[in-house]
Amino acid sequence: MRQLVSLVFERVVAEDEYFKTKDSVKREVNLEELKVPSNVAPKGLRPCAADAYLMFQVSVIMHSPATDCND
């Protein structure tokens, strides 16, 4: 898992560096959209950032305490 996280975030950094000189228009990301759990990444994220966002969401769900359906 550590290697996967490291690889995904290295790709995010590389993607940011690549687009730092290519993009003249700043991308806007709706911060409220980031707070809502979804299986779709926010539209303002680039591909590698979207992968990292979704991977992080899955890891949060996996590590959250299980809820008892009988309550």
Q: pTM, whole model, 2 decimals?
A: 0.72
pLDDT at 9: 93
User: What residue type is 8 in one-letter code?
Assistant: V
Q: Cα separation of 24 and 17, whole Å?
A: 13
pLDDT of residue 64 exceeding 50: yes
Q: How confident is the model at residue 71 (pLDDT cuts 50, 70, 90)?
A: very low
Top-ranked range on mean pLDDT: pick from 17-31, 39-53, 56-70: 39-53
DSSP 46: -
String of DSSP letters for 49-63: HHHHHHHHHHHHHHH
One-letter amino acid identity for 18?
Answer: Y
Q: How far apart are CA 71 and CA 68, in angstroms?
A: 6
Which residue type sits at 56? Answer: F
